Amino acid sequence: MRRYIFTSVEFAFKTLKRSHQQSGDLFQQRSPKVFEGAPSINVNSVKYFIGYVDTNDMNFESEKRKFSSLKGYLSSKLAQVMVSSILQKNLPDGSGISVVCVAPGSGLRSTPFAATDSDVPKYCTKLKTDVWPVCAYMSYSCNKMSTSKEAHRTDTLQAVWEKTLDMVRLPADFVEMLLQGKEIQCWYGAHPN
């Protein structure tokens, strides 16, 4: 994984730009373990509930919305839930792969819980049957949580998914390619214009 050192303003923009993109990159890097049945767990925050993703300006580059680190954080966490939801929906039935977002809180127990509890994959399978894409979300107290209404907007979900794939330069069929054992390159960071 690349490491960057930035000035504070540049760091804030780059952090937002990479935060939800890293989930896709980490999924691709972990794919051998994921395809052995290990869960894909994305550490999130319940604060994503108040986030908003502008699909025309996901990285706050147009300056039509004033950037703040809080807005960037909330937006990136909502985008992460959206990408995780589409990824979970795109995984074929029987793949044995579960995509889970967890809110660790201060005790960090929800992450190992989501990785080891036998009911979590069953819950993920149940969610796949829903009309809209939705990933499992575990609270810091290890309880299932419903995702926010904003995370259920299918038009926004699809736009965030497509733009994220473009940002990290993954083909639209990367899930199928990984399941077939094909190697693909994933990239994140400053996207050249």
Give residue limits of the domains in the chain.
12-179
Task: Examine the residue annotation and report whether 123 is marked as an active-site residue of this protein.
Answer: no
* Catalytic member of 73, 137, 140, 188: 73
- 19-28, 103-112, 136-145: which has the minimum mean pLDDT? 19-28
Q: What is the pLDDT of residue 161?
A: 92
What tens digit of pLDDT does each residue of 143-180 get?
A: 999 999 899 888 899 999 999 888 888 888 888 888 88
Q: What is the pLDDT of residue 54?
A: 92
Q: Give the Cα separation of 72 and 64 in Å (integer).
A: 14
pLDDT over 90 (residue 134): no
Quick one: which H or E segment has residue 138? strand 136-138
**Cα distances (Å, whole numbers) of residue 73 to 67, 80, 109:** 10, 10, 22
The rounded mean pLDDT for the chain is 77
What tens digit of pLDDT does each residue of 76-128 get?
A: 899 999 999 998 888 888 888 888 999 988 767 888 888 889 899 899 989 98
**Cα distances (Å, whole numbers) of residue 7 to 20, 68, 181:** 21, 15, 40
